[in-house]
Amino acid sequence: MKVVIMAGGKGTRISSVASDIPKPMIKVEGVPVLEREIECLKDQGFDDIIMTVSHLGNIIMDYFGDGSGNSPATGKPFGVHIEYYFEKEPLGNAGALFKIKDKLTSDFLLLNADAMFDVNFNRFVAFHRKHDGLVTLFTHPNSHPYDSGLIIANKDGSVEKWLAKEDERPQYYRNRVNAGLHVINPKVLELVGINADEVGKIDANGKPVKVDLDRQLLKPLAGTGKMFCYDSPEYVKDMGTPERYYSVCKDCKEGKISAKNLKNKQKAIFLDRDGTINKYVGFLRNIDDFELIDGVAEAIRKINESGYLAIVTTNQPVIARGEVSFEELEEIHNKMETLLGKEGAYLDAIYYCPHHPHKGYEGERPELKIECDCRKPKPGMLLNAAADFNIDLSQSWMVGDGENDVKAGLNAGCKTALIGQDKENIGQLVSEISLLGFVKNNLQ
């Protein structure tokens, strides 16, 4: 599979770090960001690369050549084949695709050259092929969803809406952000009605014709069933500002970037919801009753920073009892993610059990009144998450405020923590007053 890397940006926001080299050539721990991208790709078998360059592009071309040489930084072979397309005039962040489209005869990876990432691309591509769409977006939660482009998808993963930063968004939303990594079928280039010969030429207004990737190629596919999102907790971070650059450097030095690749075993903090994240009100049926416990956002933010995955596992018998619909529960969880996101915290995944074995409730849903494998204290939700994210359960924690949480953790082979006031010993490894207390005392 070919890989197209867009390496033509000027990097004006990060000019205080380096202004005399292209942004993708800024070094992290002594190695250019772009070289780290290429190494990640090569190690997974993606070695056929086309780079689009413009601003100071000769520096990139001189450094990498055709990919057959050795790295000036590490001395190791690049081990890839590289072609270039040089934009003499800026064509927008997708204009070059129309200039090289004859080389794009099948699905290809499209990546930005100025992002730091270490992801399992074979897993990403397998998802794309399974869903047979024209485009698959790599999506993830981040610490600032309130000023990021949001992706809203259906249960099958097909993208329903693409909300850019300037678009109006709902009051509550899932923290699902486009990370700038894509698998694209070249048929997309034929759908938008853009003539490759016109790209770069002067239009009637005296300006060169440019093409915007998001607004002209991808966003119009929302709602067509032809674009899907691939949710992953792996590390992808734009380093376009000095603050983000120094954050990336710190993460790289501490080994957090490579550790988050899903080919490696992950560690998780499994979190109960009611009484652990939000204030306990009994069966929570009304979204207005959802309120974060003081200190929870800080606790989850620290979990995010620690390298552990933050995964909610919650029994929700109100679904089987007919008291809350699936749509209403989703909106409650959107509120949870929105409130956390406003404080710089995020959840990597939410698992819930909608079942309830006891019958006889007015309005209940008979098909959900079953003995299942996911309702805590059974470990089904934890086991499913472990399969989805390659989690080492023995290095993970289950944290909750009740006996079922502790037993589910023990049944899954996790370490366990019981939080709350005056809790007896029911087999938990540690007892803490709050989630924040647990994090401060056990994740240092």
**Of the residues 107, 118, 272, 401, which is catalytic?**
272
Token pair for 425: 């010993």
Asked about 66 being catalytic, the answer comes back as: no
CB atoms within 10 A of CB 395: 14
Sheet arrangement for strand 415-419: 349-353, 309-315, 268-271, 397-400, 415-419, 430-432
Distance CA 166, CA 58 (A): 35
The CA-atom distances, in angstroms, between 188 and each of 97, 221, 260 are 11, 9, 31
Which residues contact residue 343 at a Cβ distance below 8 angstroms, ignoring those fewer than 6 apart? 297, 298, 301
CB neighbours of residue 402 within 10 Å: 21
CA–CA distance, 346 with 350 (Å, rounded to integer): 11
Strand ranges (DSSP E) for 273-334?
A: 309-315
Identify the active-site residue in 274, 348, 401, 405: 274
- Report the Cα–Cα distance between both ends of the chain, in Å, rounded: 42
245: nearest Cα among 358, 93, 137, 253: 253
* Sequence-ordered alpha helix ranges (H) in 179-286: 188-191, 242-253, 256-259
Known catalytic membership, residue 373: no
> Residue 391 burial by CB count (10 A; 0-12/13-18/19+): exposed, middle or buried?
buried
Task: List active site positions.
Answer: 272, 274
